[in-house]
Structure 1
Amino acid sequence: MSKPHNMSPYNLVTSLLNLSRFEGSTREFWRLFVRQYAALCHAEQAMLVGCSGGKWGVVQSWVLPEKTWSFDDDLMRIAEAAQKQSIVRVSDLLAVRIDVGPQEDPPVLLMELKAGTHVPEVQTLYFAAGLPSTFQVMRQYGKARSDVVFFAEVLKLLGTIQEDKKFKQAAMRLCNEAAALFKVDQVSLGWSGPYGKQVKVCAISNLETFDQRTNAIWELEAAMEECLDKEGEIIWDHHQKNDELVRAHKAYGAVRSVGHLISVPLRIGSDCVGVLTCEDSKTPFQESDAWKLRLMLEQCVRHLSFLEHRDKWVGEKVRRQFKRTFRTLLGVDKMAYKVAALAGVAVLAFLMFGQWAYKVDGSFALKAEQMVHLSSPIDGLIEEAPVRPGDIVHKGETLLALNTRELLLEQAKAYAKLARYKHEIEKARASYSLADMRIAQSAMDSAQAEVDQIKLRLENTLVKAPYDGVVVEGDLQVKIGAPLRTGETFMKVASLNKLYAEILVNERDIQDITLGQEATITFVGRPELNYRIRLAQIIPQAEVHDGQNVFTVKAELLDPSDDWWRPGMSGVAKIDAGDRSILWLLTHETLDYLRLHFWL
């Protein structure tokens, strides 16, 4: 190639255009680009600088041997300005921003121009500055095209291997096709099987048969086992200095007199089942070769494993299956899932065989065994009502007082009549008139009876408590002055000496309870307190309550009652129905529902 400064402007532009299709290394591309761009601008020297992480540095430079040029703060400021303005010229210094594709800090090409140099047009500078971006696009296109061709070859190889019915035949085809695809001297396949550490060479490209007892085969198997132990790709080159970790590959290379080796493990999931080793005496292997080999083997390994397993006799298959199951259960892989499964089994066993107390729930209300309905003994107006519902009353305490004004007037009249008839009797006795005396005596007796009747009615104007208890119904303080007729119930008083709990049990649970069972009640107003009871009576007739059939169960109190208890208080009762399995406790309601509605 001619020196850039000796080329015509047309040839320089043409040379720059050819760089976009350059097939060499990226470093060589930048070296040529800097020199040719500098030649296009007739620069004496050029420097490509870039910024990474806020720090500027020299990427590539072209400086005449007799000159020195260092990147200082002044040049850095010019480069920063060029990043924003694309092209900056300061005296004989020209800075051009280079397009390398979408990135935050593109590089800048600094060029020192000769005095009086005519710079190409701006469009030409922009065009030439965009060539690196075109170069990258072309490189990516070429790589993509190469990858597509490789993928097509891999799919073709997979299709041919799928037609093989024997493991030996498929392994031989894989080695031959890989040797042709990667253009290497020899490809060997070693197989260890699942969970194995000892590799056995099973196929070598272009060799139908080979002696397993030769030194070369032993060294090859050792190299494959080295790759298997590492569980990763091994690339060895005879120029490699630090090769202590790949001694087996070095030894095999010496035996075979080859300078380049690459070994790639065959994986099924996390298990390595074999190794593919490629050798070549001319071309070193790259990381891209390892990636392509790995991709090819991922497509073929499962079919190879299937054929290898199918070719084994039944006893070997059973042994492998047992070993696989044992290793899966006791291995460290997926430990979280194994712990979760073990925990699930333990929980299931606990649910099936563990016992827990079964409690039948029901609502209860506190009832009094003794309750009196008080009614008015006479007609009258309410004069006084000293108690209200909820008040504690004692035996003989006045609960109701009726107005006595009319009765007292009647009593006064009756006493006046009684006195008059007594006077008439005395008068008849003094006149010895027996008939008049008998008439007066009869009238006096009638007046006395009237007095006694009024006295009894006056006594009945006061209604008193028949026993100690609590007023549960009848608020007469709002009815002072209202009339009350004979026999009309005005108040209910319940005894606090004998209380019991009346429990409503759903018909679904009635078969689980029997007389004599103990239970616990808790009041709505005091849920922190529990009281023991014993079932004493089950009413055999069901009744509808809140849309459900329930049975009434009476229970006697085992714990002494508290002072704040009142008839009618409610809460929740839990009846001890014995121990049941925890699984039954969790599922019996759902199962009963399914059996009832779906006839399961």
Structure 2
Amino acid sequence: MQLADNSSLAIQAWQENTHGAQAWLTRHCERAPTPEGVRVGEGVVLWQHERQWLPVALWPAQAKGSALLTLADDVRRAGRGMVTQLDEQHIGLGYPVRDVSHDDAGCNDRSTSGDAQREAGGLLGAVALRVVLPADKPSSQGVLQPALMALMARLEDGVAVLERDALQRHHRRIQRAQHELAGHLELLAAVLAERQFVSAGMQLVTRLAVSLDAERVTLGWRRGTSTRVVQVSHSAQFNRKMNRIRATEAAMDEAIDQRASVILPRPDNQQQAALGHGSVVSRAHADLLSMTGGAAVLTLPCLDEALPRGAITIEREQAIDHDEIIALESLMALCTRTLEEKRLNDRALPVKLFAAGGDQLAKVVGPGHLGVKLALILLAGGVAFGTLATGTDSVAADATLESREQRIMAAPFRGYIEEILVRPGDRVEAGQPLALMDARDLALERLQWQSELAKFAGQEQEMRAMGDRAALNVIAAQRDQAEARLALVESRLARATLLAPFDGVLVSGDLTQRLGGSVEAGEELYRISPLEGLRVELEVPEARINDIAVGQRGELVLAAMTEARLPLQIERLTPQTRSAEGSSRFVVEASLDEAALGERIQVLRPGMQGVGRIEIGERRRLEIWTRELVDWLRLSAWRWWG
């Protein structure tokens, strides 16, 4: 539709420019003065049409003008006025016709060079005149120069008139196009304002009938391979079995099958070429015209993305001209998509679903849509692979290394820390000192009790010499009490140096900030873990705990050793749960295969974290991929429907 519109506008502009140029050239040459006996003998106008330069005007009619065409072509190439000697008795005058519709500075400045002018505003054409000199005054004499300058100035002024006329015609065409566009937009807005297809179609045919002064405007829409009338102007109801309705539908099918507008009576040959009507079949339209007895009938197919959606038939007593056909084709190009969308939107929901399924099926089995076909093939291949192939199902769980045994080193008595020998993370050996307690008070207390024992020994000898057995028994009891207190002090002194109970690593107990501080008896100072006998705590998601059993194997990857996979085996399922990220997780204990670890066991530390995978068994890959989705659907179904 747009191509036909542009072609028709170009032909119309070309015709207007041709007629205007011929009238101007005749007027200019016939009214030309004859100063000093110099007169205009011939004239030609060269005009641009579709990137070609063609002669559009010649004066007089019997003139040849071949030499003037060469001069006009040189003028339009140079983009400036030219004066040339054609022969002894003839002078050629030429001047370009600029396109002043481009309101640029370069177009109006006559002092600008020809190249700059062509770049700024462009040229519409060129005018060339043959000036006949008097026989008694050769051109070599300077007496003719003022006469030639006067003719050149008049030509320049005349070309300005020609440019003005071309500009006025251009503005008139723009105004007509704007007026038509405003009418189109107004009608389109009325169609868009309606919510349903039926009412939108009624708005279209009624407004067209009024604006075109048509007897009847009929809108038909495609159903399968035939067209059915849906709206008739000024008629709320109509009988589909009427011969006139059937004839109109046949005319619509005739236009849709040819993908071209059909008009009777046909326009002249030139307009047919512009509209593409050179070989259009119009038998059904002739039958409709003979049945109705009207003067003219026009059917325009409603095409949307090159697909026929319907057609509109216009019947009226006056002939339909070329401009009206172009305007109607442009209008229907705008309205067809709107009407089709409203028709699709008016369908019932089941019909929409069925149609959508059909459209998708057409993309799959029909031509084109390579991306959809490839996506479907990949989806089918993925489903087939997931259904037939099997893989190892596994459960991923956060893991933490823990030691099987930890020894707490507590303060042996209430006192002060005198010296710190190790820090957390240090390896220790059995019997290695860890820290020293301040034992000066214990040493003094030991001397006190030693002196007490010496005193009791002297009293015991004195009472034995006196034979006082009762006093001897009392002194013996006091001596035993002093010996017990001394043994207690000796024991505390022996424990004043904290010794490692076995080879291991210090897990906790940073006392560097408590040096010289007091500690209570039994207060935890260090926590020591052996290097051997590490276990793994796995936090298994609640949804997968039923898949875990004692004896299952798996692998562990630690954050500090991502390149190594450590083998593990499930040992115990505990009832302990932990909450993390809004979900509950069960703690499962596993052991590491120390024989398979080799030298790696030396770099393992309690507290290391990573991710463990527990192998469940062989299952279909589709079941593995969709397990979480299926579980969520089951819970949702139970929650809502029970």
Tell me which interval the TM-score lies in, with the shorter structure as reference length.
0.5 to 0.7
Q: Determine which of 242, 248, 266 is the counterpart of 1:182.
A: 266
**2:590 and 2:424 mapped to 1: Cα distance?**
25
Q: Determine which of 365, 369, 390 is the counterpart of 2:425.
A: 390
**1:172 and 1:21 mapped to 2: Cα distance?**
29
- Change in Cα spacing, 1:470 to 1:81, as seen in structure 2 (3 Å) is farther
Aligned to 1:380: 415
Q: Secondary structure of 2:561's partner?
A: coil
Q: By how many angstroms is 1:57 displaced?
A: 6.7
Q: By how many angstroms is 1:105 displaced?
A: 0.3
Q: Secondary structure of 1:535's partner?
A: strand
- Give CA-to-partner distance per residue, 1:175-233, whole Å, 9 cap, x none: 6995844379xxxxxxxxxxxxxxxx99888799xxxxxxxxxxxxxxxxxxxxxxxxx
Aligned to 2:79: 79
**1:48 and 1:66 mapped to 2: Cα distance?**
10
**2:480 and 2:66 mapped to 1: Cα distance?**
161
Percent identity, please.
Answer: 20
**2:65 and 2:580 mapped to 1: Cα distance?**
111
Q: Indicate whether 1:104 and 2:121 are aligned.
A: yes
Check conservation: 1:503, 1:553, Cα contact below 8 A: yes
Q: Determine which of 505, 515, 532 is the counterpart of 1:497.
A: 532
Aligned to 2:86: none
Farther off after superposition, 167-176 or 376-385: 167-176
Farther off after superposition, 555-564 or 394-403: 555-564
- Change in Cα spacing, 1:171 to 1:495, as seen in structure 2 (3 Å) is same
The amino acid across from 1:576 in the alignment is: E
Aligned to 2:610: 571
Aligned to 2:164: 130
Check conservation: 2:96, 2:123, Cα contact below 8 A: no
- Change in Cα spacing, 1:445 to 1:359, as seen in structure 2 (3 Å) is closer
Q: By how many angstroms is 1:369 displaced?
A: 1.7
**1:65 and 1:391 mapped to 2: Cα distance?**
115
Q: By how many angstroms is 1:34 displaced?
A: 3.8
Check conservation: 2:504, 2:530, Cα contact below 8 A: yes
Q: Determine which of 396, 403, 414 is the counterpart of 1:361.
A: 396
- Change in Cα spacing, 1:575 to 1:155, as seen in structure 2 (3 Å) is farther
- Change in Cα spacing, 1:413 to 1:341, as seen in structure 2 (3 Å) is closer
Check conservation: 1:543, 1:549, Cα contact below 8 A: yes
Aligned to 1:554: 589
Q: By how many angstroms is 1:156 displaced?
A: 4.8
- Change in Cα spacing, 1:481 to 1:597, as seen in structure 2 (3 Å) is same
1:181-580 aligned at under 5 Å gives the runs 181-182=265-266, 332-350=367-385, 355-415=390-450, 442=476, 451-545=486-580, 547-558=582-593, 559-560=596-597, 562-578=601-617, 579-580=619-620
Q: Indicate whether 1:591 and 2:625 are aligned.
A: no
- Change in Cα spacing, 1:182 to 1:92, as seen in structure 2 (3 Å) is closer
- Change in Cα spacing, 1:520 to 1:24, as seen in structure 2 (3 Å) is same
Q: Secondary structure of 2:601's partner?
A: coil
**2:455 and 2:360 mapped to 1: Cα distance?**
123
Query: How many residues end up aligned between the 2 structures?
Result: 460
**1:345 and 1:528 mapped to 2: Cα distance?**
36
**1:343 and 1:509 mapped to 2: Cα distance?**
30
- Change in Cα spacing, 1:471 to 1:152, as seen in structure 2 (3 Å) is farther
Farther off after superposition, 361-370 or 30-39: 30-39
The amino acid across from 1:104 in the alignment is: G
Check conservation: 1:38, 1:111, Cα contact below 8 A: no
**1:563 and 1:498 mapped to 2: Cα distance?**
12
Long gaps (5+) in structure 2: 1-10, 34-39, 83-90, 103-119, 133-146, 185-207, 222-226, 230-239, 256-260, 269-280, 289-300, 309-321, 337-358
Farther off after superposition, 171-180 or 366-375: 171-180
Check conservation: 2:506, 2:526, Cα contact below 8 A: yes
Check conservation: 2:262, 2:282, Cα contact below 8 A: no
Check conservation: 2:95, 2:156, Cα contact below 8 A: no
**1:22 and 1:325 mapped to 2: Cα distance?**
47
The amino acid across from 1:477 in the alignment is: T
Q: Secondary structure of 2:373's partner?
A: helix
Farther off after superposition, 414-423 or 583-592: 414-423
- Change in Cα spacing, 1:183 to 1:154, as seen in structure 2 (3 Å) is farther
**2:537 and 2:518 mapped to 1: Cα distance?**
36
**2:71 and 2:16 mapped to 1: Cα distance?**
25
Q: Secondary structure of 1:342's partner?
A: helix
The amino acid across from 2:123 in the alignment is: P
Q: Secondary structure of 1:510's partner?
A: helix
Larger % of helix: which? 2
- Change in Cα spacing, 1:98 to 1:153, as seen in structure 2 (3 Å) is farther
Q: Secondary structure of 1:388's partner?
A: coil
The amino acid across from 1:79 in the alignment is: G
The amino acid across from 1:182 in the alignment is: R
Q: By how many angstroms is 1:433 displaced?
A: 6.8
Check conservation: 1:49, 1:56, Cα contact below 8 A: no
Q: Secondary structure of 1:378's partner?
A: coil
The amino acid across from 1:562 in the alignment is: I
Check conservation: 2:53, 2:125, Cα contact below 8 A: no
**1:121 and 1:486 mapped to 2: Cα distance?**
124
The amino acid across from 2:166 in the alignment is: P
Q: By how many angstroms is 1:129 displaced?
A: 3.0
The amino acid across from 2:381 in the alignment is: A
TM-score, length basis structure 1: 0.57
Q: Secondary structure of 2:400's partner?
A: strand
**1:402 and 1:124 mapped to 2: Cα distance?**
122
- Give CA-to-partner distance per residue, 1:267-290, whole Å, 9 cap, x none: 998899xxxxxxxxxxxxx9xx99
1:9-20 aligned at under 5 Å gives the runs none
Aligned to 1:188: none
Q: Secondary structure of 1:182's partner?
A: coil
The amino acid across from 1:107 in the alignment is: L
Q: By how many angstroms is 1:365 displaced?
A: 2.1
Q: By how many angstroms is 1:386 displaced?
A: 0.9
Check conservation: 1:78, 1:95, Cα contact below 8 A: no
**1:179 and 1:66 mapped to 2: Cα distance?**
41
**1:485 and 1:161 mapped to 2: Cα distance?**
102
- Change in Cα spacing, 1:477 to 1:181, as seen in structure 2 (3 Å) is same
Check conservation: 2:363, 2:373, Cα contact below 8 A: no
**1:498 and 1:407 mapped to 2: Cα distance?**
39
Farther off after superposition, 454-463 or 352-361: 352-361
Check conservation: 2:393, 2:615, Cα contact below 8 A: yes
Farther off after superposition, 569-578 or 109-118: 109-118
Q: Secondary structure of 1:509's partner?
A: helix
TM-score, length basis structure 2: 0.54
The amino acid across from 2:266 in the alignment is: F
Q: By how many angstroms is 1:66 displaced?
A: 9.3
